[in-house]
């Protein structure tokens, strides 16, 4: 199963037309490999697979020591993506430096292929279902919290009523005590 790590969108010019690409990077846990998928707005589909060794090489060439750092960088919205398209697609990840200039830190070459489309759609549906499940779960939690808040406000109201009753009782007792004392003194 494909576990999506990166989902990005970019626009580029191909044949003097503005095109859009959806780029996904995921880990195929069954095969222990990383897969890069690009779906172009003209309905073409490109993929690249990286076994563990080639993924580590790509990551190290990009100056990252861990997958988590590398994936976080690929997800960063400050990182721009440029695409060059011929028979294959080159996805270039560009990072701004301190002066605002951009430099390429990673290039991935993807070949035309439709093999990974099922895995991608499956991963997207799984992610969508998880999102809705979490949303539903959070709605239930919110409803439960609202119910508890209502109960708490009722308890608080009862506490305020009891406190007022206590104050009234205390005042009544004090006034009766004062009245008894006044009778005893006279």
Please state the three-class secondary structure of 90-143 as a single string: EEEEEEECCCCCEEEEEEEEEEECCCCHHHHHHHHHHHHHHHHHHHHHHHHHHH
Q: Which letter, b or e, does each residue of 29-50 get, where b requires 16 or more Cβ atoms within 10 Å of its Cβ?
A: eeeebbbbbbbbeeebbbbbbb
Q: Which of 2-11, 26-35, 64-73 has the highest mean pLDDT?
A: 64-73
Question: What is the rounded average pLDDT of the residues 117-132?
Answer: 77
Alpha helices in the chain (DSSP H): 52-61, 67-75, 117-185
Smallest CA-to-CA distance from 2 within 176, 125, 136 is with 125
Full set of structural domains in the chain with CATH: 2-115 (2.170.210)
Which one, of 46, 54, 50, 62, lies nearest residue 26 by Cα? 50
Full-model pTM: 0.63
Residues paired with residue 106 on neighbouring β-strands, in sequence order: 93
pLDDT at 131: 79
Helix (H, G, I), strand (E, B) or coil at 16: coil
Of the given ranges (62-76, 80-94, 126-140), which has the lowest mean pLDDT? 126-140
167's tokens: 């104050």
**pLDDT tens, 15-39?**
778 888 888 898 888 888 998 888 8
CB atoms within 10 A of CB 123: 22
């Amino acid at each position: 199963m494909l576990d999506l790590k990166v989902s990005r969108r970019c626009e580029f010019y191909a044949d003097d037309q503005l095109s859009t690409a959806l780029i996904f990077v995921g880990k195929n846990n069954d095969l222990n490999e990383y897969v890069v998928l690009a779906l172009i707005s003209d309905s073409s589909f490109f993929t690249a697979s990286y076994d563990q060794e080639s993924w580590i090489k790509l990551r190290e060439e990009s100056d990252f020591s861990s997958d988590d750092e590398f994936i976080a960088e690929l997800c960063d919205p400050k990182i721009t993506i440029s695409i060059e398209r011929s028979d294959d697609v080159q996805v270039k990840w560009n990072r701004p430096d301190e002066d605002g200039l951009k430099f390429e830190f990673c290039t991935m070459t993807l070949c035309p292929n439709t093999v990974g489309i099922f895995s991608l759609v499956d991963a997207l549906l799984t992610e969508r279902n998880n999102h809705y499940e979490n949303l539903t779960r959070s709605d239930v939690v919110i409803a439960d919290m609202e119910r508890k808040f209502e109960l708490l406000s009722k308890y608080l109201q009862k506490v305020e009523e009891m406190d007022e009753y206590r104050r009234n009782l205390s005042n009544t007792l004090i006034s009766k005590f004062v009245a008894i004392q006044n009778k005893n003194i006279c």
